[in-house]
Amino acid sequence: MSLREKVKNHLNKNPFKGYFRRNRLRPPGAVMEEKFMELCIRCARCIEVCPYESVKRADLFDRLQIGTPYVYADERACYLCMLCPSVCPTGALDPNLKEPEKVRMGIAYIEQDKCLNYLYVKDENAGGTQGFAMICSTCYNTCPYTDEAIKMEQFLLPVITDKCTGCGICVEKCPTDPKSISIIPAGMGNEDLAGLYYQRSRKNFKKAGDAEGYSGDDAIKKKMSIDASGSKPEFKFDYETTDKIDGWTE
């Protein structure tokens, strides 16, 4: 598609609908974004019933989406309790959806140049292990559908499968900064719907075999700076700590 066609295509779309951003998801059971914007009356009932305070009310920076419900996966993910679809008065969240495994809020994808496990494998394949012995696997461990939605290849490399519900728990828990796993919202991978926000969500979907060619020198440098032989780290406690324990010698 030429640039001119792309621009024309974008102008033909309703600018009030379809605004996507990574890790910003509609609550579970949401119909497609365009339909959602038509149906959602901003009544905030999904926000009210959410026991995890995951669903939040969009603010001014979300433009005309202001007032609509969002799950910001990097702040607080959706824990798939399935309360919000049952209270939606207009059917913007499908009220017939009861099974959490059928939720498709989006799909997770791992940025392999940031993920600690991928960096570890890359380092190991390159032959060096100095300072790289950091294996995380948090996404695998926190996923509510471990071994279904996320699988470990070579026992080390997390791979997303198409059973991913897009709940974002892995994103919330991911220890790297910036997050090395993120959720592409449903609809963002659909060029017709997302327009300018179109993003190929299946970039490394179910493709983890070749451990060669990862980049991410910054992340490696950061990890190289971690040194066990330096000074003792200081921790802050809100209670008194003692340096010595009776009967023990260091």
Partner 1 sequence: MAGQSKIKRYRRLVQAAVFMMMFIIPALNILEIYFIKGTFYSIDVGNAVAADPIAVFQAAMSSKSVNIYMALSVVIPILLMLFAGRVWCSWMCPYHFIVEGVSFVKRKLGMKKSFPVHTPEKKRRTETARLIILVCFIALAGVAGIPLLNLISAPGIISSQALVLVKFHYVTFELVFIIALIIAEFVFFPFFWCRLFCPTGTFLSLFKSERGMHLKRVSSSCSMCGSCKRACPMGLDPVTDGSSLLCHNCGDCIDVCPDNKKQETLRFISGRQHNFPS
Q: Which residues bind partner 1 (CB under 8 A)?
A: 14, 16-17, 35, 37-45, 47-49, 51, 53, 56-60, 64, 66-67, 87-92, 95
CB of 47 to partner 1, least distance (A): 7
Q: What are residue 56's phi and psi, to 5 degrees?
A: -120, 160
Across the beta sheet with 24-25, the strand order is 24-25, 69-72, 55-57
Minimum CB distance to partner 1, residue 93 (Å): 11
Which one, 19 or 197, has the nearer CB to partner 1?
19
Q: Which residue carries 């000074």 as its tokens?
A: 231
Shortest Cβ 61–partner 1 spacing (Å): 9
Min dist CB 101 to partner 1, Å, is: 24
Closest approach, Cβ 16 to partner 1, in A, equals 5
Q: How far apart are CA 13 and CA 192, in angstroms?
A: 9
Q: Which two tokens stand for residue 171?
A: 């994103």
62 is written with which tokens? 């979300």
CA distances 237 to 242, 245, 246, Å, are 11, 17, 20
Query: CA–CA separation, 200 vs 189, rounded Å?
Result: 5
Distance separating alpha carbons of residues 163 and 150, to the nearest angstrom = 8
Tell me whether residue 76 or residue 104 sits nearer to partner 1 (CB atom).
76
- Tell me the torsion sign for CA atoms 216, 141, 181, 173: negative
CA–CA gap between residue 176 and residue 119 (Å, rounded): 12
